[in-house]
Structure 1
Amino acid sequence: MKTVILLHNPGAGDKNHLQMDLVRTIEDEGYNGIYFSVKKGDNWKEQLDQTDFVAVAGGDGTVRKVMKELLQRSLLEKKLPLAILPMGTANNLAKTLGIDPQLSHEHHIKNWKNSKRQRFDLGVIKSLHHTNFFLESMGFGVFARLIWHMDNRDTSSLTSADEELQFALRALRKLTLSADTTPYRIQADNQIFEGRCILLEVMNIRSVGPNLVLAADAKTDDGVFDIVVVGDDQRDEFADYISRLAAGKEASFTWHRFQAKNLLIDCPSAYTHVDDELILPLQAPVSVESREDIVDFLVSDTSA
């Protein structure tokens, strides 16, 4: 019998019955399930040698929190795959991996038996006195400013994930129209890119924030980033694109985009983020590199 450690981020609306339902479903599928709340410490780390894989029930931020702990494990310890039970607002990681948040957790748990390991690269950021990693993206400009904006707004009246996403898209449109332009210079492998931008994102997956798809064909295991730049000359077009998304309409936008494995970035923006966290501006130049095959996620095996 395989053992699964279930790491759950109980939201404000969650009741004890969800915890019990998750564990019951896992055990009904023939696993030995061990439950931990990620809001109650990290005692789960002591159980990792006894488990076959880790299941994360939560959103993108919860997956990052768990990953931060797993990355501290010794190279001599076994590499544990992660299964995602998407219960967040945006679920960008799950969507990139083909894990549909609209399907029930029962469906996902039943599907574990027909899953395969999907390799996943990590982004590593280095600047003077600072090292960090990202699963989704890191960047400068208006999207980082959106994170600051959302962190400082009362969203308690929003009652669903769809309402939160729509609220964020409308806020992003307003911020886009007023965003300052920032000079940037990027050494990408053996090429140089420079100019002025309102958004610069180094993408490791398809989408960021309110399901804003910036790199539709991004792969999790190709060893390169998709770098997306929106210049000041695209400001109005980008704002119109966001408006159409917020209205639920068909929309398209032509990004300035290229791929690279290693980057040196100089972009003195006042707003910088790593995944969904706003951080202090990094001292330039910032080194960003793709580290291949760091973690495995369990995803549906369509050939099964």
Structure 2
Amino acid sequence: MGSSRLFAYLQLTRPANVVTALADIWAGFAVAGAWAFIALDLGSDQHEYLLHLAWLSLSTIGLYAGGVAFNDVFDAELDAVERPERPIPSGRVSKASAAWMSFLLLLLGVVSAAQVNMVSAVIALSVALLAVLYDYWGKHQHILGPINMGLCRTGNLLLGITVVPELLQKFWPLGFIPLVFVAAITMISRGEVHGKNKVALYAGLLMYVLVILSIGSMPLLHDTSIWEVLPFLALLSYMVFPPLIKAIRTQDPKLIGKSVKAAVISLIIVNSSIAAAFAGWKIGIIVLLLLPISLWLAKKFAVT
């Protein structure tokens, strides 16, 4: 496979976005308290949790990459009109090849999760099905579409928590945070091509505020200091609010696109904030280290 063709296949998977999915898993690990086992020299336990982290990280890479690639498969005809430069309409990747790659990536995601436990496998399978449902049907639904997309991220965060599966019963409500944040991004992104969606932009703004307030309240419920979380929330606010406010003022599709791109990348900051709230600022920084990687990849590959 030539380098140009390989680049086209990579374009289908949105590499910068895939890195944000890794942050979901790493934050889930923080919620489950698993980073403590990795940090401490506990011999076989440390090795086991490192292995689980690797398997679940590989799982989310397959799930996210396969899901977004399937999106281009289902959108091939529309992209031929609106975005002809994309890999499938441009002829650099055939629709059939893209479909097979997408299926195999989703399969990789489920099989990798199964190496941890069956609860992980079930969650991974649910994420895969939700992703395909969104690609085929959900994105065309005005209300259910954003919820469908948000549920994919909810499942991804919960997938990280399944490293200690019995904790899902206690912490599953945390899934509402990525659900609301991603639903907001999905609503806002509908104006990326044509603009003129001020109601959705304002709704997205309010949903971002709700997410930040929710994460900010977590230290009140857990044994962490608010000061360990506030710097992450300040960075999150800096990333999402200025571009969104500009988009609201102008209704310019390009500025809406920039706002969406900033919010997608900021999913890493959302996760680092959650990690800091549960495991302290040092673990928050570990998750945040994914941000420069995602930003670098965003310069090479499209985010939306």
**TM-score strictly above 0.5:** no
Q: Larger C-alpha radius of gyration, 1 or 2?
A: 1
- Name the structure with the higher strand share: 1
TM-score by length of 1: 0.28
TM-score by length of 2: 0.28
